[in-house]
Amino acid sequence: MRTPIVIGNWKLNGSKAMAEALVAGILAERPGLSDIEMGVCPPFVFISQVVAQAAQAGMGVGGQSCAEHVTGAYTGEVSAEMLRDVGCRYVLVGHSERRTLFGETNAVVARKTRVVLDAGLIPVLCVGETLEERQAGNMNAVVGGQIEAVVDAVGIQAFDRTIVAYEPVWAIGTGQTASPEQAQAMHASIRAQLAAHSPAIAQAVRIQYGGSIKPDNAAILFAQPDIDGGLIGGASLNAEDFLVICRAAAGSLRLS
Ligand code: 13P
Question: 172-204, pLDDT tens digit by residue?
Answer: 988 888 999 999 999 999 999 999 999 999 999
Beta strand 229-232 with 207-210: parallel, antiparallel or unpaired?
parallel
Catalytic residues: 95, 167
Q: To the nearest whole percent, how much of the chain has pLDDT over 90?
A: 95
Cα–ligand 1 centroid distance for 221 (angstroms)? 14
Long-range contacts of 232-238 (CB under 8 A, 24+ apart): 232/6, 232/7, 232/8, 232/9, 233/9, 233/11, 233/172, 233/173, 234/173, 236/7, 236/8, 236/9, 236/10, 236/40, 237/8, 237/10, 237/13, 237/14, 237/22, 238/22
User: Would the CB of 232 count as within 6 Å of ligand 1?
Assistant: yes
pTM above 0.85, yes or no: yes
Average pLDDT of every residue of the chain: 97
- The whole-number pLDDT of residue 186 equals 98
- pLDDT of amino acid 56: 87
Average pLDDT (100-116) is: 97
Integer Cα distance of 229 and 223 in angstroms: 9
Report the pLDDT averaged over residues 19-46: 97
Could you tell me where the beta strands, DSSP code E, fall in the chain? 5-9, 37-41, 60-63, 90-93, 122-127, 163-166, 207-210, 229-232
Q: Taking phi first (over 0 means left), then psi (-120 to 50 degrees means alpha), and beta for anything else, what does residue 158 get? A: alpha
- Axis-axis angle for helices 47-54, 16-27 (nearest 10): 20
73/204 Cα distance (integer angstroms): 38
Q: Report whether pLDDT(253) > 90.
A: no
Residue 226 backbone dihedrals phi, psi, to 5 degrees: -105, 10
Residue 68 pLDDT > 90, yes or no? Answer: yes
pLDDT band at 254; cut points 50, 70, 90? confident
End-to-end Cα separation, the chain, in angstroms: 9
Q: Atom 2, ligand 1: which residue's CA is nearest?
A: 233
Ligand 1: centre distance to CA 231 (Å): 7
Q: Using pLDDT thresholds of 50, 70 and 90, give the confidence band for residue 44.
A: very high
- How many angstroms is it from 36 CA to the middle of ligand 1? 20
What is the DSSP secondary structure assignment for residue 2, as one 8-state letter? P
Q: Which range, of 113-122, 146-155, 175-184, averages the lowest pLDDT?
A: 175-184
Verify whether ligand 1 is closer than 6 Å to residue 231 (CB atom). Answer: yes
Q: What was the pLDDT predicted at 256?
A: 63
Smallest Cα–Cα separation from 116: which of 158, 164, 157?
A: 158
Task: Tell me, using a 6 A CB cutoff, whether residue 221 lines ligand 1.
Answer: no
Ligand 1 centroid to residue 210 C-alpha, Å: 6
Q: What percent of the chain has pLDDT over 70?
A: 99
Q: How far is CA 139 from the centre of its chain?
A: 19
- The whole-number average pLDDT for the span 82-90 is 98
Q: Which residues pair with 60 in a beta bridge?
A: 39
Label residue 225 by pLDDT band (50, 70, 90). Answer: very high
Whether ligand 1 lies within 6 angstroms of the CB of 233 is answered as yes
pLDDT (average), residues 223-229: 98
Does the beta carbon of 172 lie inside 6 Å of ligand 1? yes
Nearest to 67 by CA among 109, 33, 97: 109
Flag whether pLDDT at 75 surpasses 70.
Answer: yes
Pocket perturbation via mutation, ligand 1, pick of 9, 127, 207 by most ligand atoms within 8 A of CB:
9
pLDDT for position 90: 98
What is the bridge-based pairing of β-strands 163-166 and 37-41?
Answer: unpaired
**Gap between the Cα atoms of 246 and 118, Å rounded:** 30
Residue 56 CA, ligand 1 centroid: distance in Å: 26
Q: Which of 177, 231, 238, 241 to mutate to test the pocket of ligand 1 (most atoms within 8 A of CB)?
A: 231
Average pLDDT over residues 235-253: 97
Please report which helix (H) or strand (E) contains residue 114, including its range: helix 106-118
Q: Is 234 in the pocket of ligand 1 (CB under 6 A)?
A: yes
